[in-house]
Structure 1
Amino acid sequence: MPTDATPDPHTDPLAFGQRMQILRTRRGMSRPVMAGLLGMSPSWVKQVERGEIGMPRLPIVLRIAEVLRVRDLSDLTGDQSAPVELFVGPGHSRLPAVRDAVNALTLDGDREAPSTEHLAARLARAWAARHRSANHREILGELLPDLIRDAQLAVRQSDSAASRRAAQAVLSEVYSLSQFFIAYQPDGALLWRVAERGMVAAQESEDPHAIGVAAWLAAQAHRDTGPDHFDAADAMAMEALSHLNRFLPDANDRVRAIAGALQFEVGYTAARRGETGAAWGWWDKAKATARSLPADYYHPVTSFSQAIIGAHAVTVAVELRAGGESVRQAVAADTAAIPSRPRLARHRIEEARAYHLDGQAETALATLEKAHQAAPETIKYNGYARRIVLEEAESKYPARRRRAAALADQLGLLAA
């Protein structure tokens, strides 16, 4: 092995600081950038990495794990005896069935494919069921295997160019729905495979809405991979917006909504970079697009709507690490107008991040309890919620520890 190869933090008993440096370097993150995200000085980061300062207390360790997008806490601490996955939730019991449907080779067989109209109606019912359900992954896990196989078969059996494009549009959205089930589960390769297939199907369909949705999800996947993929996330969103612009003057509500969702994604990535002006500038563009939609419109895939813009403002402020502003936006947001239970739970988690960032730990835990009431499967798979709960389980205040421990038990974080 070359002597200048980057060591693997799993193979040798490396110190905490060495692991932190390796993982930071792999993310392509500089010490000053990491220090800024942690609220520490670059010299502090350097001292930790050199072993001049020992492993910090758990709250700081959890913040480091969030900044570095460490999926398993033991990758950072070196303690393999009790691994804790932070940004990947537990594998759902229906994940193998969905994986098998994605991986299957669907040829003609001995049955006729459903019509694209029938598939589109089933897909619409699946989206509606997801928004209504507290345990939305259970619902999707039950519906997806047959939907995936039937949509693949519809493409295979298309007998004209027009019918094939229509079938590809439905198949693309089925893959989009699949990504909501697969995300934050322990199969990153499957998530990327579905994202890529969704994009291919969307391009084959030539449907602007399908292309926009596929790009929206792909941009998120790139951004969540880490800072070194932020440029790819922006490129995906910007190219899709450029494509959609030609359709916008005469576009229907759902095409305008996906354009607005993409505008917000660019702002979200800017916020992750710490670019305040760009982040709020793109949020303003998304807000203007939302105002062009009917007041009661709600996009079934992205949740983009007038109702969601306030929730998006909380996310921007939180990602910019602006505690006071994020709380102000959280107070201003109209949660009663969010009709989707999983999206409401996601917003509650963002509110909890705002309160926690502002030093209001009790309010953050109370808000996470509301998220759990709205949709337990959303908070169970959310790394930010898990990090806050674990951090507060180490609080010096007994009442707060008990409250956090109860939530940790509900999320399965205390399992042996």
Structure 2
Amino acid sequence: MDLPADFTTGERIRHSREKRGMTRAVVANLVGYSSDWLKRIEAGQRGISIPALVRLARVLKVDDLSDLIDGATPMPVSAWEGPAHPAADAVREIVDAMTFRPMAADAPPPDVTALTARLRRAWRDWHALPDNHSVVASVLPALISDLERATIVLEGTERRRAHAALTSAYGLTQHLAVDLVEPEVGRIIADRAARSAQMADDPVSLAFGAWTHGHVLRSVDADAALWTVREAAAELRRHMEDDEDAVGLYGSLCLHMAISAAYQGQDGEAWRLWDAADRVARNLSSGYSHPQTIFGPSNVDIHGVSLAAELRRFGEAVARAERIVPENVPSRERRGRLYGEIAAGHMQRRQLDDARRYLELAYLESPEEVPFSPLTRGVAVELVRAATGPLKADAVRLAERIGVLSTG
């Protein structure tokens, strides 16, 4: 792409869009974000993540990311396209499953307590196991099918309990779907979680439904996500006395709102909400973490890293990250993502050896997530491009293990 050398990333994106005769609204919709989000990127008012840049490149038919970020070294879009994860089939099975046959009248009634126990095991496995994607994908389709049946054949309190469990199960499905399936599939899952929460009709389920729905809504309209979650948090706050899990979920909603505020560049509001979550975490029992969201002191610290990075304070993000004791993070999945975020922060600062070290830690902690995450794949590709000498060989070997480079 022959453009002036001083063109910014935003100007390059705008030029590519206008060259193809596409409006900002059309491009933003195809990428899965709001028109205002793209407007601010083109104006240089906010940065853009590698995953979002890759989606933009595909929509604009740009094969090389260096055309959009003024890089001298080719950066093919294909390098960020991970292999198909087997768990994606399970997610699509859940979304596509639809039956129009009446439920068998002679079948024994579902046991909601047993179904809830199965769901708790699935959440524990998600946070504890290195092969969490495969294990959870192997049980979720049947579990959701059984919960869907329970919401149909049961009545009264038991039906609402089944809907509450189904809300949580769809929340876990949304976690599984991230980076594995198309954004529209994630939207279907979040919508089902929200509808189940409405049918459960209790403040905790409604708050969890908002938490799940807000994650998907944020990418389209961060302001709407902030409003939705704020409303749910305000209602939950009225009903969380003597329920530590409800308090933990409230803290998670505060962190959710903080990230949404940061997406819009609302620096002061983002840190105000983070401070609110920090106060909640410090009043919880020692060692407590929310069973689904993993809210607790270490989770608050991790979100501080994410806020700093979203607000383009990469030095602060790295400094915050390195003050976190990974062993205190009660989720293996979240520890892997933390290491990936630290690697990305070091990459932004061109601290290549540190970036490689943390990327390898991320892979060792979450071997089923790192090969499919656009963030960590991006770090792997940039490392191979930028490294020299012995570090280059280490970067290539790590990229081969992750699956960014072929070993053939």
TM-score range, shorter chain: 0.7 to 0.9
Determine whether 1:409 maps to 2:405: no
Q: Is the 8 A contact 2:352 2:387 kept in 1?
A: no
Give matches, 1:15-30, under 5 Å.
Answer: 18-19=15-16, 26-27=27-28, 28=35, 29-30=38-39
Partner of 2:9: none
Q: Which residue of 1 aligns with 2:191?
A: 196
Shift of 1:84: 2.0
Alpha-carbon shift at residue 89 of structure 1 (Å): 4.7
What does 1:81-96 align with in structure 2 at a 5 Å threshold? Answer: 83-84=77-78, 86=80, 89-96=82-89
Distance 1:282 1:171, change over 3 A: same
Indicate how the Cα distance of structure 1 residues 144 and 72 shifts in structure 2: closer, same or farther if over 3 A, else same: farther
1:71 to 55, 58, 69: 55
Aligned length: 371
Which consecutive segments of 4 or more residues in structure 1 shift more than 4 A?
20-25, 31-34, 72-77, 80-83
In 2 relative to 1, CA 363–281 (structure 1 residues): closer, same or farther, beyond 3 Å?
A: same
CA-CA distance at 1:266 after TM superposition: 1.1
Residues 1:333 and 2:327 are matched in the alignment: no
1:142, distance to aligned residue in structure 2 (A): 0.4
Unmatched tracts of structure 1, length 5 or more:
1-14, 39-63
TM-score normalized with structure 2 length:
0.83
Q: Is the 8 A contact 2:112 2:162 kept in 1?
A: yes
Aligned partner of 1:43 in structure 2 is: none
Q: Match for residue 176 of structure 2?
A: 181
CA contact (8 A) 1:84 1:413 kept: no
SS at match of 2:297: coil
> How far does residue 343 in structure 1 lie from its aligned partner after superposition?
0.8
* 1:233 aligns to 2:225 (yes or no): yes
Determine the C-alpha separation between the residues in 2 that align with 1:287 and 1:176.
24
Aligned amino acid, residue 266 of structure 2? E
Matches of 1:117 and 1:194 in 2, distance apart?
23
Aligned residue for 2:369, secondary structure, equals helix
Tell me which moved more, 174-183 or 349-358: 349-358
Residue equivalent to 1:41: none
Q: Which moved more, 1:22-31 or 1:327-336?
A: 22-31
TM-score by length of 1: 0.81
Q: What percentage of residue pairs aligned between the two structures are identical?
A: 29
**Alignment map for 1:14-413 (pairs within 5 Å):** 18-19=15-16, 26-27=27-28, 28=35, 29-30=38-39, 34-38=43-47, 66=50, 68-71=52-55, 73-75=57-59, 78-79=62-63, 83-84=77-78, 86=80, 89-106=82-99, 107-109=102-104, 111-158=107-154, 160-225=155-220, 229-248=221-240, 250-395=241-386, 397-413=388-404
Superposition deviation, residue 328 in structure 1: 1.8
Contact 2:353 2:391 in 1 (8 A): yes
Counterpart of 2:200, as a letter, is S
Within 2, Cα distance between the matches of 1:90 and 1:223? 26
What secondary structure is seen at the aligned counterpart in 1 of 2:54?
Answer: coil
The structural deviation recorded for 1:151 is 0.5
Q: Contact (CA 8 Å) 2:380, 2:404: kept in 1 or not?
A: no
Cα distance per residue 1:57-88 (max 9 Å; x no partner): xxxxxxx66284433755556339975274x7
Counterpart contact for 1:113–1:153, Cα < 8 Å: no
- 1:78-109 superposed Cα distances (whole Å, 9 cap, x missing partner): 339975274x7543224324422433234413
The one-letter amino acid paired with 2:364 is: Q
What is the identity, as a one-letter code, of the residue corresponding to 1:414?
Answer: L
Cα distance in 1 between the residues matched to 2:131 and 2:23: 34
Cα distance in 1 for residues equivalent to 2:322 and 2:95: 42
Gaps of 5+ in 2: 1-11, 29-34, 65-74
Q: RMSD of the alignment, in Å?
A: 2.7
Find the aligned partners of 1:32 and 1:341 in 2 and give their Cα distance.
Answer: 33
Q: Deviations over 1:237-272 (max 9, x none)?
A: 111112212113x14111111111111111112222
- Conserved 8 A contact 2:164-2:197: yes
Residues in 2 aligned to 1:392 and 1:136: alpha-carbon distance in whole angstroms:
27
